[in-house]
Amino acid sequence: MVAGFRRSLSFSISSPKRSPSLEKTHHVRSISLPCIPHPLVSHLKDKINEMRSWESELLASARVSSAWLCEGLIRLKNVHDCFDDLLDLPQTQESLRRRSDWVENLLEDFLRFVDVYGIFQSSVVALKEQQLAAQVAIRRRDESKVVAYVKACMKKDKDMRKLVSVVRCIGKSSAPALASVSSDGDAELATVLRDVNEVTVSVSVALFNGISSSSSSSSSSSSSSWYRLTKRTEKVKKEMGILEFEEAGVKSLYCLRKKGDEEVRMSLSKLKALDDCIGKIESGSERVFRSLIKTRVSLLNILSQ
């Protein structure tokens, strides 16, 4: 920046007058100082990179476990907690007030995230009740009740696929606005906003797809009712099912009356293990749900001030 000072300041005599174009060039350089990002921005980027690393594990694996998925939910909550801290900064709030269109789009995105996770929470509660009913039916070898459980699983699969479809559309309306940025500071903020949306979508899709795999099966049965239910289920191609859900699927529930006591005990053991899995997922998704609500409230406060 030293080159931008006029040499006439160092001498008592006047120097030749510089051309207006050169004066303008030096003036532009004098204001193009590098902008040092706030530490919270770097911290949030680190959290987002951790999420990217978690996503790469999904691409390298044919199956996922509930522990891996719960880890993703924990990391996603950390991303949103850090994002909420960033929204509390005065400079962030000032930038967002200048770009009210960003805030309005983000409010719409987060409203849809909150709605989706609210629906998911209700589905998990219903799933837990269905699991308990299925365990009672297995103990009594009541195949009619087990068939009702399989139908409930199929409905749950359909609901999860609808949530996946909704989530994959979130952020598409805000992406064009975030892409059309001129200043460096706003561009960095726009990148962070876009990345937060993207990792939220990716974790949510992995969660809902994993849950929808519980009724998958490739086994056949002599019972015509079981056969029809199985073939209808096979029509849906599952993506990255959760291991515990697949192991406790309807395959282990076929023809209870023909199974021995040991086989029945194994089916019950798998369903009980699945109960623990569902409980952990419910806890992790509820934390994410609360973080989403908190972030949306922060955005509303920025827009209303």
Q: Report the distance separating Cα 146 and Cα 280, nearest Å.
A: 24
90-145 pLDDT, tens digit each: 988 988 888 888 888 899 999 999 999 999 999 999 988 988 888 888 888 888 88
What's the pLDDT at 264?
77
Across residues 280-288, what is the average pLDDT? 95
Closest C-alpha among 75, 85, 101 to residue 200: 75
Tokens coding 257:
């009356």
Percentage with pLDDT > 70 across the chain = 68
Distinct helix (H) and strand (E) counts, the chain? 11, 0
User: Taking the complete model, does pTM exceed 0.85, yes or no?
Assistant: no
- The strand pairing partners of 242, in sequence order, are 64
How far, in Å, CA of 35 to CA of 46, rounded?
Answer: 19
pLDDT digits (tens, 9 = 90+) for 139-168: 888 888 888 888 888 888 899 999 999 999
Q: Which is more confident, 4 or 61? A: 61
22-60 pLDDT, tens per residue? 444 444 433 333 344 568 888 999 999 999 988 887 666
C-alpha–C-alpha distance, residues 52 and 303, integer Å: 30
Band (251; pLDDT cuts 50, 70, 90): low
**Angle of the 90-98 helix axis to the 100-139 helix axis, nearest 10:** 110
